[in-house]
């Protein structure tokens, strides 16, 4: 027992005068304060002396909940800003001002001879902005590159790039501008959306006129085995880690290179809001208010995100669900679901009085598909569907009505397919019947035409026979009337 305030202390356990127990702490702030981990091999009861499970919580006439609390970095969505310089200078480079804009005029530099400084980018980030990344883009080409010495098979021109305006010199990156075989313009880059070049940047530093970069002409050695077998062809090979880092057999082989820079730009990635801790609270447990099990993004089970009733009904955004799973209608996002497919119970084992849907086609013809927007969400997306109350007057089996019998709760859209199938079958049956009727008429018509054609051909044959007979009779009559011709003056006379 210690002096006032009285406390019992034994082997790391403290019980103070307010009956607060501390394990691993001498200053318990609650009835039980534990600092460190705990190992419970049997059931643990909180609010009960007879726990029946590994963790048994019991509390009379009050909510029973477990609270989860943490904090995270609060950031607004990341933004980016891209700027080009307004000033360029430096010794050793020819026409440095040509690097300000992309116009096919070039600032030219030679390895080992001076630095090209570009600045005046004119950024205007908010003072509270948090810079998370910087990308430098250089447009230009290689003028020449050569290396000598054993082990240096090839090289290509590059510019060694370093940011200026920070609290100290930044990392330097090589930006390749050629491949050793062509002098065509290329666009190279260094940095990235989450690369700050080894420094912490304040918004004021980025916004200052001194913020910029320095470029020095340089070269990158290449080895034949790396160039030809590992990384492929330009411009991919310099992005390959093995090629980029490989120094060949002689890393000190001298390089002589020259490069032309047409344009330079910087992109800054940043968060515009203030960085701070955002407290997060979640609670899980039983609510005394309605006896529902709740999962809530609060410390006291209020405003639950998920509710499970004692009857096993689940509500998402619904405090008192009436169905097995119920989603809110008040939120455009929370009222939507997404899945690869939904599987509905359907088996002959669970159905009785099975019969075909009568007059399905007539029912479908009475339905009216509509386009609409949900009430209370004027800026929301357009939707299509049915008006459930109108459908109920045609196919009441598809609609769940409110107890008042006037307003609809919802509609069984998935059942419309069954109605449509039967309507299509009725339409198909009608089409088949019409086709049969048309085929019968066609057969009858073709038979009639064939018969008529035969009759016409027979009549024509009879006419031909009669004409031939008349010709023969005429010939015989002429022979009787004029047996031989009369001859006068040596000429036959009729």
In a domain, 68, yes or no: no
In a domain, 152, yes or no: yes
What's the domain range around 152?
Answer: 79-271
In a domain, 383, yes or no: no
In a domain, 406, yes or no: no
Quick one: pLDDT at residue 66?
A: 80
Residues 6+ apart with CB under 8 A from 371: 382, 383, 384
Where is average pLDDT lowest: 21-30, 67-76, 416-425?
67-76
Tens digit of each residue's pLDDT (9 = 90 or more) over 323-343: 999 988 776 667 778 888 888
Quick one: pLDDT at residue 220?
A: 67
Average pLDDT of the segment spanning 186-198: 90
Q: What is the pTM of this model?
A: 0.45
- Picking from 120, 116, 122, the residue whose alpha carbon sits closest to that of residue 140 is 116
Backbone angles phi, psi at 279, to 5 degrees: -70, 135
Query: ∠ CA 407-411-417 to the nearest 5 degrees?
Result: 150
Quick one: pLDDT at residue 420?
A: 96
In a domain, 40, yes or no: no
Quick one: pLDDT at residue 206?
A: 95
Most confident of 63-77, 125-139, 408-422: 408-422
> Are 194 and 70 contacting, i.e. CB atoms less than 8 angstroms apart?
no
Token pair listed for 428: 């198909």
What Cα–Cα distance (Å) separates residue 382 from each residue in 335, 378, 408?
Answer: 15, 10, 21
How confident is the prediction for the chain on average, in pLDDT? 81
Tell me the C-alpha distance between 332 and 312, whole Å: 25
Average pLDDT of the segment spanning 412-432: 95
Quick one: pLDDT at residue 359?
A: 95
Tens digit of each residue's pLDDT (9 = 90 or more) over 392-410: 999 999 999 999 989 999 9
In a domain, 202, yes or no: yes
Tens digit of each residue's pLDDT (9 = 90 or more) over 85-120: 999 888 889 999 999 989 999 999 888 888 999 999
Token pair listed for 492: 């036959």
DSSP 3-state of 93? coil
CATH number at residue 234: 2.60.120
Quick one: pLDDT at residue 396?
A: 95
Where is average pLDDT lowest: 227-231, 273-277, 437-441, 468-472?
227-231
Quick one: pLDDT at residue 458?
A: 94
- Rounded to whole angstroms, the maximal C-alpha distance in the chain is 186
Quick one: pLDDT at residue 290?
A: 84
Quick one: pLDDT at residue 150?
A: 46
Tens digit of each residue's pLDDT (9 = 90 or more) over 225-277: 444 444 444 444 344 433 443 444 444 555 677 889 999 999 999 987 655 55
DSSP letter at 208 equals: S
Share of the chain above pLDDT 90, in %: 41
What Cα–Cα distance (Å) separates residue 50 from each residue in 33, 38, 42, 45, 297?
Answer: 21, 19, 11, 7, 30
Cα-based torsion angle of the residue sequence 481, 483, 484, 488 in order, rounded to the nearest 10 degrees: -40
Quick one: pLDDT at residue 5?
A: 47
Where is average pLDDT lowest: 58-72, 121-135, 180-194, 197-211?
58-72
In a domain, 164, yes or no: yes
Domain tally for the chain? 1
Quick one: pLDDT at residue 282?
A: 86
In a domain, 453, yes or no: no
């Amino acid at each position: 027992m210690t002096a006032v305030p009285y406390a019992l202390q034994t082997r790391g356990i403290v019980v103070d005068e307010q009956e607060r127990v501390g394990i691993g702490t001498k200053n318990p702030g609650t009835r039980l304060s534990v600092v460190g981990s705990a190992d419970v091999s049997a059931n643990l009861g909180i609010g009960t002396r007879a726990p029946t499970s590994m963790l048994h919580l019991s509390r009379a006439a009050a909510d029973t909940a477990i609270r989860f609390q943490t904090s995270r970095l609060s950031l607004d969505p990341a933004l980016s800003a891209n700027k080009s310089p307004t000033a360029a200078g430096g010794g050793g480079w020819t026409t440095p001002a040509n690097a300000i804009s992309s116009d096919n005029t070039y600032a030219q530099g030679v390895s080992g001879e001076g630095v090209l400084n570009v600045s005046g980018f004119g950024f205007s980030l908010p003072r509270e902005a948090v810079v998370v990344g910087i990308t430098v883009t250089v447009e230009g080409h290689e003028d020449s590159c050569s290396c000598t010495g054993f082990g240096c098979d090839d090289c290509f021109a590059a510019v060694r790039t370093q940011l200026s305006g920070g609290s100290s010199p930044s990392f330097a990156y090589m930006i390749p501008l050629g491949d050793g075989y062509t002098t065509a313009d290329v666009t190279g880059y260094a940095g990235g959306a989450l690369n700050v070049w080894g420094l912490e940047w304040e918004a004021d530093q980025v916004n200052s006129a001194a913020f910029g970069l320095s470029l020095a002409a340089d070269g990158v050695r290449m080895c034949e085995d790396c160039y030809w077998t590992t990384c492929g062809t330009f411009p991919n090979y310099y992005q390959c880690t093995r090629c980029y880092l490989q120094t060949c057999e002689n890393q000190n082989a001298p390089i002589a290179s020259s490069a032309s820079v047409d344009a330079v730009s910087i992109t800054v990635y940043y968060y515009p809001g203030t960085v701070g801790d955002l407290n997060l609270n979640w609670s899980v447990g039983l609510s005394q208010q309605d006896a529902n099990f709740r999962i809530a993004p609060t410390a006291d089970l209020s405003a639950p995100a998920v509710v499970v009733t004692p009857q096993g009904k689940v509500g998402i955004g619904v405090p008192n669900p009436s169905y097995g799973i119920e989603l809110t209608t008040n939120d455009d996002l929370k009222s939507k679901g997404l899945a690869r497919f939904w599987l509905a119970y359907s088996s002959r084992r669970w159905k009785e009085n099975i019969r075909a849907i009568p007059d399905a086609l007539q029912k479908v013809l009475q339905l009216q598909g509509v386009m609409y927007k949900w009430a209370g969400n004027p800026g929301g997306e357009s939707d299509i569907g049915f008006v459930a109350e109108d459908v109920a007057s045609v196919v009441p089996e598809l609609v769940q009505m409110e107890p008042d019998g006037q307003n609809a709760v919802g509609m069984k859209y998935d059942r419309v397919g069954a109605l449509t199938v039967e309507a299509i079958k009725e339409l198909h049956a009608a089409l088949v019947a019409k086709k049969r009727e048309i085929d019968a008429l066609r057969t009858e018509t073709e038979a009639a035409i064939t018969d008529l054609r035969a009759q016409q051909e027979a009549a024509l044959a009879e006419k031909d026979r009669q004409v031939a007979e008349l010709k023969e009779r005429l010939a015989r009559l002429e022979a009787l009337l004029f047996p031989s011709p009369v001859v006068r003056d040596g000429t036959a006379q009729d």
